[in-house]
Structure 1
């Protein structure tokens, strides 16, 4: 029984870690690509603080 609980806890932890990574990397990569494609000062001033908060 103890082994089953440890397995379930490990599986849950791994799943939550993967979901958290996907959740935060998606907007990070999207904004980074926008910043790369639109390298204007106004865009950088708008996107840089958002990227810093996400990272």
Structure 2
């Protein structure tokens, strides 16, 4: 959802989570993938979708 343009609040609403929970998960994802931004995450998702 984030890679498709939703902000943290929008994604949280769709997933029935708090905004803080979404932020915590994104922080862990960025750390594990060695990224620093939503742009990097979006690029990785697009690349993975094109590779399939």
Please report the TM-score for the alignment, with normalisation by the length of structure 2.
0.31
More helix by share: 1
TM-score under structure 1 length normalisation = 0.30
Q: Which has the larger radius of gyration?
A: 1
